[in-house]
Structure 1
């Protein structure tokens, strides 16, 4: 009881006592004064209690709505699929007539609107106002805002951190103006939508990565079939090779074509890595195999091959290649178009055949020169790509041409297959835990002599 109420009762009692009334009358009047005050206090108490109950009930409804929204969005990967249900839940706590949600999910823009009252037509004006430069901020429009018949609007952005995904707006409140409580509810809903959007985008990214990995694995399997699956047999040469891409697919290529009077061995390296290089490598393979059937002359073969590649290669794309023609008598003709030097091991010494022209695909006539050497029984011809000699270890050191040549020379007595395995082991030991930074390809040929039976 406040002081004014106490003083009023005190004054009423003093007035009553000063009237010198009978004691029974005084007792009755005192009882009435006390009962009247108690009645007033009860009315005030119940009024305050009702207000608290109403506030608690409103808070419960708000919390319940947010819980429903959280449960709703947690049951779907794509939040745009549940916007209709979301609007219905919000309608239980915010008495709006119309609602709109705009979401930008990757390249898609989701535009959702819903009306809960016949004749409601403020939503388009509300959207137009918000999208006139207010998408990134909270907007509260009241009748006093001076926007004509757009008198009730509440819009909040859907964002997380620096990412802005869209907005959610409510228009045309049924009674009164949008309140601070309405704003809190809508902001909480927007935060939950933003979290759902992030989950959805992360899921999409992981799904895309998985799809890409699956597609790259398929591409890797297809590309592996483009290399010689079964090495052709020859009476005068034994050979072996391998190719390892730096990533799933690569731009290195090797092939061995046995013809009637000779054998062609090609090792090529398409500029770049990954899928683009792999596609160009496939084009190179098709061109080489089709042209090799009709040309015995190496220079004409390379000239026509270059013309076909010019049609497929884009600007700044090119292909380095070493193409060797080995005859039964050991005569070997080689064209090196911008490729690392081929290695010839003969009589315990190493000879290198360097590039004699620019890579293919850069100009119409690269004018490639033929280099000739004569292999003797037991001699080796090793063709490789730059990924081999440029492989790095954990100290940043390159494998290098000297190390590679010494390894081949040291193991020249082994078979072509054994030499290839030795090169692979040496590279693996040298690199340690370092990954390949470029595709690596090696082909080893050992000349057996002209009169070895098939």
Structure 2
């Protein structure tokens, strides 16, 4: 009997986690055996059978604690009893319900069965029940087991997809900063998960200027990474057509607004910088980049709202100047919203002070120092959100 639901759930989840870490060749036969052996009394189940769907029959592939030589090795998928578990996902065979004939002659009754899907594969788990079983408890236990097992399978499949997405994301992020005479440029991004929603990019032009951008797709994980991919691709394509900054981002907004991804909002800052230091930019809802020159600090705020929620947006361009010795700091909210053990965020003010006090460092060293300081501020815990820092420094 399950006396503590939360404890049971934790035990089941831990048990399934251990099975996946072991990496059993036949994960389902291992699950079947361990469900009976490890949790059988809690689940009120015994004598498990595992069937795999092959064409139009469920074929027995494994059984536990069963000595009978007359176990049926096949179950017809068209039978009423099998159709019931296929329809409901979980089914208890008892009293007036159709009989799931698992062996010849006298057969166990009652039974509980549930299905598991893995890609195009369909697996059927069947268990006999103890005499003193309780329907509500069995339904809870089996449905919980089924959902957790399906979640584990989906998680493994998702992990493979995430690894693939990580390769895509890495291919989109710049491997090296462009070499621009009179400037140093360096950026780094850290994802909270295998892939993330932060992005940054550089563009070089032949007319003596270059571009730098940073964005943050709302959320993190695969949906945010897919949106970040679309933003980088769309931005590059628009800029290659020599469109104005605001026109490129407005068009990008329309594309994002029509997106069917679960994550379809993103902030974006993009600036074009001439080698003379003149700078034009648009800030679409992104944390304000910081332009520092000595003790002078300017926040680059001008622009408009985040991209995606509205089909049409109005964006205003901003202008600034980077004198020799100045630097521009672009960052995502994962940096300034990192919390310490007291619940305080690192905040923009601390970032300003850090940059002002260390502005004589190289762009690469300053990026490294910023990340290290903020990481330590968060008690060296794993990053809770994606984090990106990009610095553009105009040399003296």
Q: Does TM-score exceed 0.5, indicating one fold? A: yes
Partner of 2:68: 90
Mapped partners of 1:209, 1:328: distance in 2 = 48
Aligned 8 A contact 1:252 1:269 in 2? yes
Aligned residue pair count: 319
1:90 partner SS = coil
Per-residue deviation, 1:317: 2.2
CA 1:316–1:216: 2 relative to 1, 3 Å:
closer
Per-residue deviation, 1:423: 0.6
1:421 partner SS = helix
Per-residue deviation, 1:230: 1.8
Matched, 1:136 2:113: no
Mapped partners of 1:323, 1:221: distance in 2 = 24
Further displaced range: 287-296 or 253-262? 287-296
Per-residue deviation, 1:79: 1.6
Greater Rg over alpha carbons, structure = 1
Matched, 1:411 2:358: yes
Matched, 1:79 2:50: yes
Mapped partners of 2:273, 2:378: distance in 1 = 33
Equivalences for 1:1-400 in 2 at 5 Å?
A: 79-80=50-51, 83=60, 90=68, 112=75, 136=92, 138-139=94-95, 155-158=109-112, 209-261=155-207, 262-295=209-242, 297-312=244-259, 317-400=264-347
2:60 partner SS = helix
Aligned 8 A contact 1:246 1:438 in 2? yes
Partner of 1:14: none
Q: What is the TM-score normalised by the length of structure 2?
A: 0.67
Aligned 8 A contact 2:51 2:125 in 1? no
Which sections of structure 1, spanning at least 5 residues, go unmatched? 1-69, 93-98, 102-110, 115-122, 142-151, 170-182, 188-194, 450-454
Aligned 8 A contact 1:236 1:448 in 2? yes
CA 1:448–1:199: 2 relative to 1, 3 Å:
same
Per-residue deviation, 1:277: 0.8
Aligned 8 A contact 2:197 2:221 in 1? yes
Aligned 8 A contact 1:251 1:439 in 2? yes
2:304 partner SS = coil
Aligned 8 A contact 2:213 2:271 in 1? yes
Q: Cα deviations across residues 205-241 of structure 1 (Å, max 9, x unaligned)? A: 6565444334323322331221110211101321101
RMSD: 4.4
Partner of 1:420: 367
CA 1:159–1:324: 2 relative to 1, 3 Å:
same
1:80 partner SS = strand
Mapped partners of 1:418, 1:222: distance in 2 = 27
Q: What is the TM-score normalised by the length of structure 1?
A: 0.60
CA 1:319–1:209: 2 relative to 1, 3 Å:
closer
Per-residue deviation, 1:153: 7.9
2:181 partner SS = coil
Per-residue deviation, 1:137: 6.0
Which sections of structure 2, spanning at least 5 residues, go unmatched? 1-28, 35-47, 53-58, 98-105, 115-123, 134-140
Per-residue deviation, 1:126: 8.7
Mapped partners of 1:284, 1:78: distance in 2 = 50
Aligned 8 A contact 1:78 1:196 in 2? no
Report which of the two has the higher share of helix.
1
